[in-house]
């Protein structure tokens, strides 16, 4: 009788999927146009400044006013889509591609319950998630728990994708930092809208993979307790691009050529060290502990080929009081099979928050 190591199978599946998607010529590698030149320098300065502003000076964010249209309506729920101009300041706006200046959001909410007796979770995009559908499917069953779902389309994704970008393969390293910084600002503004304009009684932020990193950052920066729910998420983009499978999808030669001087060529090791230094700016463990770490629930996979176990444990250690839940599987299989665990984490994270005082 042959015994099968399921964990190893899940891990191998991640690598087979990664090889098919990232090592074939189906699509170009990440960062084929290099580092991003002066844009990267600007973003490095801005993100370092963000760390200096962490003690509340960056709140409240710009209040956005989405323009809504109803997509469909039933007796119990409504789905709307909204557009708004990204709240990023002029410096950041000038670095973003024009296609990313207008943000898009989907909003699925129960109809029969007043907002102050409902919760709403903002769902951020993982790598390659260009549409609203997957995250709406994740949030749909939560309607019966009086939990609304708001889905943000990321800059550089979907209808916000630059003309020259193929799929999810960002052209420059600066694009990755731009995507993250703009996503954080847009999510903060949406949470502010849900709180001040829509009047929701509880709020949360979640995301899968890259979206989980962004969700952790937003939850960390929020001035009041919200549920923070990173799924299949590393503590830093360093892990994804320098340790996990995405290192095989990165244009290291193009990055080396972009850095090399006429008189001297850099080694690939030096290029990778430069990448580690740049992406260390995305290290969530450098961010403050969220206001209520009990409402932070990480869901991680036991045999993840993209996100090593040590990365998840670093997050748990950095935020005492948070919880890690393990699902059996790899990155790809957990993404497909464990939506139930993600939904339970959302419900449980929100249950650990106090209701906001209802309006008079």
170 inside domain:
yes
User: What integer is the mean pLDDT of 27-40?
Assistant: 90
Quick one: pLDDT band at residue 245, thresholds 50, 70, 90? confident
User: What integer is the mean pLDDT of 164-173?
Assistant: 93
167 inside domain:
yes
257 inside domain:
yes
345 inside domain:
yes
Quick one: pLDDT band at residue 358, thresholds 50, 70, 90? low
Whether residue 359 is predicted with pLDDT greater than 70 in this model: the reply is no
125 inside domain:
yes
Number of domains in the chain: 1
Residue 282's CATH number: 3.40.50.1820
The sheet with strand 67-73 has its strands ordered as 67-73, 77-85, 102-110, 147-152, 119-124, 202-208, 227-231, 297-301, 323-327
- Write down the pLDDT at residue 22: 46
Which residues, in sequence order, are bridge partners of residue 79? 72, 108
322 inside domain:
yes
Q: What is the pTM of this model?
A: 0.90
45 vs 84, residue with greater confidence: 84
- Write down the pLDDT at residue 4: 42
Domain that holds residue 71: 6-352
360 inside domain:
no
Whether residue 134 is predicted with pLDDT greater than 80 in this model: the reply is yes
97 inside domain:
yes
Record the tokens describing residue 327, joined without a space: 């699902």
What tens digit of pLDDT does each residue of 55-101 get? 555 678 888 999 999 999 999 999 999 999 999 989 899 999 999 99
Whether residue 343 is predicted with pLDDT greater than 90 in this model: the reply is yes
- CA atoms of 312 and 231, how far apart (whole Å): 10
- Write down the pLDDT at residue 246: 87
- Write down the pLDDT at residue 19: 45
User: What integer is the mean pLDDT of 308-318?
Assistant: 93
- Write down the pLDDT at residue 51: 62
* Residue the block writes with tokens 């390659």: 128
User: What integer is the mean pLDDT of 269-298?
Assistant: 94
Record the tokens describing residue 78, joined without a space: 């409504």
Cβ(21)–Cβ(27) under 8 Å?
A: yes
- Write down the pLDDT at residue 278: 92
- Write down the pLDDT at residue 53: 57
Q: What is the largest CA-CA distance in the chain?
A: 71
Whether residue 18 is predicted with pLDDT greater than 70 in this model: the reply is no
pLDDT, mean over the chain? 88
- Write down the pLDDT at residue 16: 47
Q: How many residues does the chain have?
A: 360
Whether residue 43 is predicted with pLDDT greater than 60 in this model: the reply is yes
- Write down the pLDDT at residue 13: 52
Whether residue 305 is predicted with pLDDT greater than 70 in this model: the reply is yes
- Write down the pLDDT at residue 3: 39
């Amino acid at each position: 009788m042959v015994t099968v190591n399921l964990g190893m199978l899940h891990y191998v599946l991640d690598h087979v999927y990664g090889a098919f998607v990232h090592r074939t010529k189906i699509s170009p590698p990440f960062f084929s146009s290099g580092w991003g030149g002066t844009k990267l320098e600007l973003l490095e300065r801005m993100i370092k400044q963000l760390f200096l502003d962490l003690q509340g000076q960056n709140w409240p964010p710009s209040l956005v006013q989405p323009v809504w249209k109803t997509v469909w309506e039933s007796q119990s729920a409504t789905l709307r889509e909204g557009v708004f101009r990204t709240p990023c300041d002029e410096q950041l706006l000038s670095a973003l591609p024009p296609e990313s200046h207008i943000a898009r959001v989907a909003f699925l909410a129960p109809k029969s319950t007043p907002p102050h007796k409902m919760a709403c979770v903002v769902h951020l995009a993982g790598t390659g998630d260009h549409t609203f559908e997957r995250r709406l499917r994740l949030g749909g069953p939560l309607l019966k728990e009086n939990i609304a779902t708001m889905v943000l389309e990321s800059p550089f994704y979907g209808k916000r994708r630059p003309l020259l970008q193929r799929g999810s393969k960002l052209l420059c390293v600066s694009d990755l930092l731009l995507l993250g910084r703009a996503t954080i600002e847009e999510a903060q503004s949406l949470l502010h809208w849900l709180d001040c304009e829509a009047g929701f009684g509880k709020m949360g932020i979640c995301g899968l993979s890259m979206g989980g990193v962004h969700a952790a950052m937003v939850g960390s920066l929020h001035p009041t307790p919200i549920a923070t729910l990173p799924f299949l998420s590393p503590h830093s983009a360093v892990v994804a691009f320098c340790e996990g499978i995405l290192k095989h999808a990165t244009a290291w030669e193009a990055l080396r050529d972009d850095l090399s001087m006429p008189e001297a060529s850099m080694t690939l090791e030096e290029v990778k060290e430069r990448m580690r230094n740049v992406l260390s700016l995305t290290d969530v463990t450098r961010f403050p502990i969220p206001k209520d770490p009990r409402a932070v629930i990480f869901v991680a996979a036991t045999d993840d080929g993209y996100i090593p176990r040590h990365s998840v444990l670093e997050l748990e250690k950095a935020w005492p009081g948070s919880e890690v839940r393990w699902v059996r599987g790899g990155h790809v299989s957990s993404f497909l099979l464990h939506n139930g665990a993600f939904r339970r984490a959302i419900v449980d994270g929100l249950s650990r928050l106090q209701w906001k005082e209802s309006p008079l």
